[in-house]
Structure 1
Amino acid sequence: MPIPPPPLIAVVGPVETSLLAAWVAHYRHLGIERFLIAFHFPDHVPDAQRHDLQAAVRELGILPAGMSIGPWHEHTDTELRDALRHRAGPGWHLLADADEFQQYPAPLTEVIAHAESSGHRVVGGLMLDRITADGSLTGWQSDRGLDLAYPLGGHLTHRLLHGDPRKVVLARHDVVVASGNHRAPGNRPDMDRLCAVHHFKWRSGVLEDLRRRVQHFTSGTWQEHTPAVREEATRLLEHIDQHRGVINASDTRFAFRRVSLGHLPSGWAEEARGVFTAWRPYAHTGNH
């Protein structure tokens, strides 16, 4: 019996309608047919932007599963995501944020079949941060495409921000997945078959979002479980200030090079395995 494509589960915030359209097209190209999307908008997002995004997703043939407005507490995404997973029902679930474009070493149904035959209940991925050629945080024209706008891929999340670059990209319905889809306690993916999670976060508007995040988590307006998210945002803001408003694409620590959504980076399996297995949580000291 052939394995059906999994439903895609996502909590979507105030992204550009062009990014959302590209994201949906990307996953449809991978074979996804069912999208379970919930929107969550912090209070500062204008009514017009909320309406535009909801209209845009309907124009793409997707009926949003829900919409909420309010503080973006650290637990908000997890609760909304788990409600969507419950609605999705039995089988495999694909988990992706709206700025994450997953790239697999084989067709999606083959990836799931291999996981099942090898006894894995999750499939793992590793973040590959995408930036512009000069590291500037700019917008993009949809007619140019993401690969042209953000041609470089590297390891910014963990080597600068000390964030967790590991992702659970596919999980059985009965597997509990932690906040941010970073891990599934008690379940380990196949380290030799990690997907690349192209991470298009570093765009126009991200600095305002990060400053707002630091402000609200520091004041307690938004609830946090640990200071990790706030400290990661602060590290990026400090880096930008030190490099005249851009990400330092030439810093060899980040291993930025030209990549594409069309094919996995050269040597990806070995590179991803090395990062995934070596990564350890950062020791939070209260300092930045």
Structure 2
Amino acid sequence: MNANAVSIKRQGAPEEMVLEQQEIAAPGAGQLLIEQKALGLNYQDVYHRSGFYPLSLPSGIGTEAAGVVLACGEGVDEFKPGDRVAYAGGAPGAYSSHRIMPADRMVKLDDGVELGDVARVLLKGMTVEYLLNRCVPIGTGKTALVYAAAGGVGLLAGQWGHHLGATMIGIAQGEAKCSLARANGYSHVIDRSCEDVAARIRELTGGKGVDVVYDSVGKASFETSINALKPRGTFVSFGTTTGAPPAVEAAQLQKLGSLYFTRPTLVTYTASRQELLDSAGTVFRMLRDGHLRVHRGADYRLEQVVQAHHDLESGRTSGACLIIP
């Protein structure tokens, strides 16, 4: 069997991605052959392609997809051909019409779940789940600051935090994105294109600061983020869209009020199969109960993947985007 798949031979600009035919072998022991119907577009795909994350080359790109099981390898008893499944995370290679995947990293889907919505939300939703539920749990009486509030993760974080009872402050750029964030759980949204972010945070918190910052930006936002925290607040650095944040010194955390700093990853928080199933199950339950809405961003064909990466990197996207193989 042949698959249409995107690969790179060297890391760099979006144009390094090439769509080609690749032969797909039969699934081995503990593996599934998946016909992929919808592929997630995530910023970590940019990290893999650009070289921010090192890869062994040549390599595929993409880490999230939803589809249907075509065949099962020896020893697989949890799945059968025809099952609807999804995955998020693991080695790059999701930008493909078909893929071999380890069965223990797959999640079985209910019949009523739309595959496109799963591919839009699974990785982003599990990211929000571990950040807000387990990394630094928030709830009533807590105030959280979230960057890129109109992005795929940001919109889900606003809704999730609002459901938990926290006061959510978002940062976005431009009135359209700020309005979108306000409609998705944020009590306050700061427009970084025309407002002084640090001053607005002080104003909104009465000078006290926030309990937690969920920062996906990195280098460019580091000083604003660390100074936005109240004493004993927590800086959660989970993304680096502008480059890695500077090294954090223990003395700086002490001086600014016994602060905490953490650099978590979804890989760590879904390391075991049970953690993976629990996290995905929580996301699906939040969707089913109406506490989360999927904001459908742009759809791209697999042959439009170069344009998709240009749009994502330039900030022209909002919500959760999709690639159709």
Q: TM-score, normalised by structure 1?
A: 0.30
Q: TM-score, normalised by structure 2?
A: 0.27
- Higher strand content, 1 or 2: 2
Structure showing greater Rg: 2
